[in-house]
Amino acid sequence: MDFQPDLFFVGLKGSKICATVMAGFEGHRGWINDLAVSPDLRRRGIGRRMMEEAETRLRDLGCPKINLQIRSSNTDVIAFHKRIGFSVDDVVSMGKKLEPDV
């Protein structure tokens, strides 16, 4: 929340948090991190609306492209993002752990 708080979104149903998404823009690419929708409220358009808001805000910042990473085994999430216009990039994603898993 200290860095780009205007790119952190919370969806409410009444006073209950039902969804969140965190976006970021480093001046070259936008990133979507941690889209989450309450399991009992999925498939109702909430995730799509959260993503639309994140995309709008990123576009307003001049962001030319959005990246996101999904585990290849998470087929439901991959299918969701394909339905809303994302496609698989021909890239290699690499990481380096700086702290052991807890």
What are the domain boundaries of the chain? 5-83
Residue type, 37: V
Cβ 70 vs Cβ 87: under 8 Å? no
The pLDDT tens digits of the residues spanning 43-97 come to: 999 999 999 999 999 999 999 999 999 999 999 999 999 999 999 999 999 999 9
Q: Name beta bridge partners: 30.
A: 25, 66
Hey, which CATH number is domain 5-83, 3.40.630.30, 2.70.150.10, 3.90.1200.10, 1.10.443.10?
A: 3.40.630.30
pTM: predicted TM-score of the whole model, two decimal places: 0.85
The pLDDT assigned to 1 comes to 59
The pLDDT assigned to 11 comes to 95
Token pair belonging to 1: 């929340």
Cβ 22 vs Cβ 38: under 8 Å? no
State the alpha helices, DSSP H only, in the chain.
46-60, 75-83
